[in-house]
Amino acid sequence: REMASELIRLYQARMHAPGHAFALDSAWQQELETAFPYTETPDQVSAIDEVKADMEAPLPMDRLICGDVGFGKTEIAVRAAAKAVFDGRQVAVVVPTTLLAQQHGETFTERFAGFPVKVAVLSRFASPSQQKAIVDGLAAGTVDLVIGTHRLFGADVSFKDLGLVVVDEEQRFGVGHKERLKQLRTSVDVLTMTATPIPRTMEMAITGIRDLSTIDTPPEERQPVVTHVGHFDEGMATLAVRRELLREGQVFWVHNQIQTIAAAAERVRELVPGARVAFAHGQMDEATLERTMVRFWQREFDVLVSTTIIESGLDVPNANTLVVERADLLGLAQLYQLRGRVGRSTERGYAYLFYPEYSSMTEEAYKRLETISTFTGLGSGLSIALRDLEIRGAGNVLGGDQSGHVASVGFDEYAKLMAQAVAELRTGTAPAQTLQQEVEVKIDLPVDAHLPTDYIADEALRLEAYRKIAAVRDAGGVRAVRNELIDRYGRLPDPADRLLSVAALRAAIRRWGIRELTTTPRRTVRAVPVTLADWQELRLAREHPDAVYNPSASALEIPVPRGSRADGGGELVSHVARSLSTILSNQRRPAARSVAPR
């Protein structure tokens, strides 16, 4: 709730804050853009124009650039950063890994060479004295552009005049981190770049909370990566490595277990004698990790056995084969990012995504692998993100969860709850209906009541039907759901019919104020709390002589007739409903009339 109110406050502040309207393109800007060694794709041009228009407007920018790996998102960031820096403002570029920070550092330094721009990289590769100098420079305004990892979220980091924040590979950051960035200044412009946005961001873009630009045009001569998904085959993996080495290429081999990665690298050496194999993971010390990656980039190794540390934006044009040992344990965005590490030049890329042959797999893992094998074309990042939104759900737009099933409450209900939360936080008061919390009702009876899978086969539709039944509050609601189920799926099977009877009973006892209905070892059904007037006690003694009423415990026990469980419990539910109805139906009669007859 705290994060929700902070998010609302922040987005409201951003929409009303007088953002900085950046100046039109300067001569330096045009000079930097002319120096770009490649021809821009049409999508790149339109995305750049949209970003510039946002920056020149007085409102703070919050734009998501969704473009496939290697489609030129970094150049958009370079031009946006140039526009801010040439207008006298500072720029922060946030990336998820130290390796990517180093790579971006080289790219930005190279692109800004010849201009009076101070570029710095703040990550754990920098020594403590270097980090202090960079942090001091940001506060003093002598550092114009900083590229950093989570280190930029540190409490000691402050900017003299921050104008633009660029978040690269946003799916790797938590909500808390991203909102901390925006808190640096509510009027800051934010540019987010990713190939596969997390479901929460995707939904925010689809629903218009954020602006979205897509880059769908691949660079010239780029070819789709050939993707193989199947159970682990050591022979096939060995053949893939040999074939890549024959064309003088390099291989990424992903083994996502740090404890056994050295043994995995040794196994690759045995499978491919003569191959130069190295391994890398995030727990290596900075110097060793950087040295290993640089040597791989300089082609001193043929095969790099690594954890998923390589997934973020690393650009090794000569590496064109990827082997992933346990693809079933990785997320959809991770798989997509890993596949994006190969096939980045004119050479055809190959990705082998393996899973164990004899182990079970979750339904979600199966859907992820099915998706990654289906969407193999260039520019499929957005399609994969939409599929991820479907598989994982949208998460919580106002909370810290970045995914989670909207289906569990239904989208309409989810939107209603969202509107309620927003209204409550905006006005500072809870709506009347949220103050009157509904009493939780517990029914524990031996009844076989459910929706059989052969009646509603699709899991999502079955979930929706359960949600509608759970939302029933009166007899009319039960009739409406019953008619809809018969209309959509045909005659109700007995377990479904009993489920609706239980729903009707639940609605009735809620109306009578009963919170719990359970069976006892004495072959009775116990209802609590129940308060009977004198005349109701007389009726109980007359019509249900075997029932027991305990006024001090506010409990009523009704005997269970023999054979009532034979039909799956249907007769038991009917018996309880009839008995309670005759005993309690007039409980709400005005007090003046609620006197026992003389």
Q: How far is the C-alpha of 375 from the C-alpha of 384, rounded, in Å?
A: 7
User: Which tops the pLDDT comparison, 290 or 499?
Assistant: 499
Q: Where are the alpha helices (DSSP H) in 221-331?
A: 234-246, 261-271, 286-297
Q: How far is the C-alpha of 191 from the C-alpha of 29, rounded, in Å?
A: 18
* Residue closest to 351 by CA, chosen among 329, 373, 331, 370: 373
> To 10 degrees, what angle do helices 411-427 and 2-16 make?
70
* Residue closest to 385 by CA, chosen among 177, 192, 224: 192
pLDDT value at residue 178: 57
* Residue closest to 196 by CA, chosen among 387, 405, 366, 393: 387
Mean pLDDT in the chain? 77
Asked if residue 188 and residue 107 are part of one domain, the reply reads yes
Query: What is the percentage of the chain residues whose pLDDT exceeds 70?
Result: 74
Residue found under tokens 């900017």: 159
Hey, how many other C-beta atoms are within 10 angstroms of the C-beta on 16? 11
Asked if residue 318 and residue 190 are part of one domain, the reply reads no
Hey, how many other C-beta atoms are within 10 angstroms of the C-beta on 545? 8
**pLDDT tens digits, 107-136:** 899 999 989 999 999 987 788 899 999 999
State which H helix or E strand residue 406 sits in.
none
Whether residue 206 lies inside any domain: the answer is: yes
Asked if residue 310 and residue 413 are part of one domain, the reply reads no
Whether residue 385 lies inside any domain: the answer is: no
* Residue closest to 478 by CA, chosen among 454, 496, 453: 496
Asked if residue 415 and residue 489 are part of one domain, the reply reads no
Provide the number of structural domains found in the chain.
4
pTM: 0.55
Residue found under tokens 């031009």: 79
Asked if residue 292 and residue 265 are part of one domain, the reply reads yes
Asked if residue 207 and residue 286 are part of one domain, the reply reads no
- List 525's β-bridge partners, or say none: 519, 558
The CA-based angle 340-363-261, given to 5 degrees, is 50
pLDDT value at residue 397: 39
* Residue closest to 192 by CA, chosen among 66, 84, 70: 66
- List 84's β-bridge partners, or say none: none
Asked if residue 488 and residue 429 are part of one domain, the reply reads no
* Residue closest to 293 by CA, chosen among 113, 106, 70: 106
Asked if residue 323 and residue 420 are part of one domain, the reply reads no
Whether residue 253 lies inside any domain: the answer is: yes
pLDDT value at residue 33: 92
Q: What are the residues whose beta carbons fall under 8 Å from the beta carbon of 65, sequence distance 6 or more?
A: 47, 51, 73, 76, 191, 192, 193, 194, 213, 214, 215
CATH number at 7 reads 3.40.50.300
Domain boundary among 215, 250, 272: 215
Whether residue 319 lies inside any domain: the answer is: yes
Q: What are phi and psi of 158, to 5 degrees?
A: -140, 155
pLDDT value at residue 433: 42
Asked if residue 511 and residue 494 are part of one domain, the reply reads yes
Whether residue 399 lies inside any domain: the answer is: no
CATH number at 520 reads 3.90.1150.50
Residue found under tokens 């024959």: 246
Query: What is the percentage of the chain residues whose pLDDT exceeds 90?
Result: 21
User: Which tops the pLDDT comparison, 15 or 155?
Assistant: 155
Asked if residue 316 and residue 179 are part of one domain, the reply reads no
Residue 113: exposed, middle, or buried by beta-carbon count in 10 A (0-12, 13-18, 19+)?
A: exposed
pLDDT value at residue 180: 67
Asked if residue 248 and residue 150 are part of one domain, the reply reads no
- List 385's β-bridge partners, or say none: none
Collapsing DSSP to helix, strand or coil, 7 comes out as helix
The CA-based angle 48-222-389, given to 5 degrees, is 65
- CB 95, CB 101: distance < 8 Å: yes
Asked if residue 447 and residue 363 are part of one domain, the reply reads no
**pLDDT tens digits, 348-369:** 888 898 888 877 777 777 777 8
Domain boundary among 377, 395, 422: 377
Domain boundary among 329, 359, 377: 377
Q: How far is the C-alpha of 186 from the C-alpha of 59, rounded, in Å?
A: 11
Whether residue 575 lies inside any domain: the answer is: yes
Whether residue 401 lies inside any domain: the answer is: no
Domain housing 95:
2-215
Whether residue 221 lies inside any domain: the answer is: no
